[in-house]
């Protein structure tokens, strides 16, 4: 096949602004979703510290007392909000990734997302049962 | 003119003529407001009646050819499907598709996308070549349903204009090329899945995607390229684990 030289034309390359993620509401939602990982990681680190102090009765009790302060409860509510936002958006995406084809039809999105929510509920109940035993 | 109300609507159009302009500029045009008109009709009115130097691509006027994609008020749209009545009396800002170099006015350079389609081998490579005498490559409706959604892609590149990952990392294979690679990977008649997967599972392939998801939102054909990319991630991850845990088992 003959190859032809490409015409050299001056082109305009639009710059990508640092504020690109403010351009569309969906981009902001995406960035918030990425941000949730910081809160989840932070809370995981807190749980590790808590477990490490489990044998030290005095230190454990002082953490427990600190957890009952209004500031701590507010922080927990913020982390809970981010965790729920992350989990719900994650589960809602599962039908896009797990496509189960039955003949010519796909298994309904609600069935796939619903199965994930059901597993979430079961896991939560098991953890609550073990924790409050 | 049918539907002419005597009103006008304002278009603010991105202009860039490389011979004269070092930077793009915006030019404002008044066009008759007709509720059955789309943005492409307004652009053609400008071209025919006001300013013949305005340059843009278009062809079919019915959402099939995929050549009239532009940014309409900041959102990637097929201008043949963006009705003036959905914006009127607001000013409509028309710009070339984002994240591509601009050649002139609303015309972008999409060489990069074409190269990626070629790399992704976005065409059918039959498992076995058949002569005409041997007949057609048959397929059941269920086999067709497995990939049909991805075959609806019209290469309009709206998904690339919606993808911030492509803007930040131009080497990213991108939504449509991956969705089309998956379209052929999932085709029961095809035999080149491994070659395509090597390309789309590379560093610049599916793993660049952070699932912003806007590619699927703007897709005029409901292809869901974001879904296609996540499915490819799942497949490549499964195959990697399988090769690690069961190296003796062939894919």
pLDDT at A1 over 70: no
With an 8 Å Cβ cutoff, are B16 and A16 in contact? no
Q: Are strands B92-95 and B4-15 parallel, antiparallel or unpaired?
A: parallel
Q: How far from B113 is each of A102, B101, B120, B178, B181, CA to CA, in Å?
A: 34, 12, 10, 11, 13
Phi, psi (rounded to 5 degrees) for B204: -85, 0
Phi first, then psi, for residue A7 (nearest 5°) are -65, 135
Give the distance, in angstroms, between the CA of residue B194 and the centroid of all CA atoms in the same chain. Answer: 24
For the cut 80, the answer to whether the pLDDT of residue B251 exceeds it is: no
Decide if pLDDT at A9 tops 90.
no
CATH for the stretch A20-132 = 1.20.1300.10
Q: Quick one: pLDDT at residue B70?
A: 98
Confidence band for B109, pLDDT divided at 50, 70 and 90 = very high
Residue of B185, B230, B235, B237 to mutate, testing the A interface (most A Cβ within 10 Å of its Cβ) = B230
Q: Domain residue spans in chain A? A: 20-132
pLDDT in tens, A63-78: 889 889 999 999 999 9
Judge: B211–A93 Cβ closer than 8 Å, yes or no. yes
The alpha helices in chain B, defined as continuous H runs, are 39-45, 111-119, 141-145, 148-151, 158-162, 164-168, 175-185, 193-200, 214-218, 225-245
* Cα–Cα dist B65/A35, whole Å: 39
pTM: 0.91
Q: What is the pLDDT of residue A57?
A: 87
* Strand locations in A28-122 (E): 101-102, 105-106
Residues of A in contact with B98 (CB under 8 A): 14
pLDDT, tens digit, 9 for 90 and up, residues A20-33: 999 999 999 999 99
pLDDT mean across residues, chain A: 91
The yes-or-no verdict on residue B3 having pLDDT over 70 is no
Structure tokens given for B247: 């190296």
pLDDT in tens, B203-222: 899 999 999 999 999 999 99
Find the mean pLDDT for residues B186-212.
94
CA atoms of B147 and B156, how far apart (whole Å): 19
Name residue, tokens 């008044």. Answer: B30
pLDDT in tens, B21-47: 999 999 999 999 999 999 999 999 999
Percent of chain A with pLDDT strictly greater than 90: 66
């Amino acid at each position: 096949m003959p190859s032809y030289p490409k015409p050299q034309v001056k082109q305009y390359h639009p710059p990508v602004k640092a504020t690109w993620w403010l351009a569309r509401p969906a981009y902001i939602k995406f960035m918030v979703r990425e941000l949730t990982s910081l809160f989840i990681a932070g809370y995981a680190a807190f749980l590790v510290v808590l477990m490490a102090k489990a044998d030290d009765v005095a230190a454990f009790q002082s953490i427990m007392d600190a957890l009952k302060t209004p500031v701590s409860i507010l922080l927990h509510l913020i982390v809970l909000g981010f965790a729920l936002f992350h989990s719900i958006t994650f589960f809602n995406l599962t039908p896009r990734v797990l496509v189960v084809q039955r003949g010519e039809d796909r298994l309904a999105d609600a069935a796939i997302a619903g199965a994930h929510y059901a597993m979430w509920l079961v896991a939560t109940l098991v953890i609550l049962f073990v924790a409050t035993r | 003119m049918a539907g002419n109300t005597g009103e006008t609507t304002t278009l603010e159009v991105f202009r860039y003529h490389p011979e004269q302009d070092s930077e793009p500029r915006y030019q404002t045009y008044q066009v008759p407001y007709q509720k059955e008109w789309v943005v492409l009709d307004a652009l053609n009115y400008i071209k025919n009646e006001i300013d013949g130097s305005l340059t843009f691509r278009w062809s079919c006027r019915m959402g099939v050819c995929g050549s009239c994609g532009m940014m309409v008020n900041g959102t990637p749209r097929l201008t043949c499907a963006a009705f003036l009545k959905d914006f009127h009396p607001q000013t409509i800002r028309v710009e070339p598709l984002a994240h591509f170099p601009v050649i002139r006015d609303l015309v972008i350079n999409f060489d990069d996308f074409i190269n990626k389609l070629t790399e992704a081998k976005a065409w059918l490579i039959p498992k076995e070549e058949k002569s005409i005498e041997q007949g057609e490559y048959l397929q059941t409706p269920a086999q067709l349903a497995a990939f049909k959604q991805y075959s609806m892609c019209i290469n309009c590149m709206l998904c690339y204009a919606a993808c911030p990952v492509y803007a930040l990392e131009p080497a990213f294979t991108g939504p449509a090329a991956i969705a089309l690679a998956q379209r052929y990977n999932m085709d029961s008649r095809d035999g080149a899945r491994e070659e395509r997967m090597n390309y789309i599972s590379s560093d610049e392939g599916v793993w660049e995607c952070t699932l912003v998801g806007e590619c699927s939102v703007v897709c005029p054909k409901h292809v869901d390229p974001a879904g296609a990319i996540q499915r490819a991630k799942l497949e490549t991850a499964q195959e990697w684990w399988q090769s690690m845990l069961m190296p003796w088992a062939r894919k």
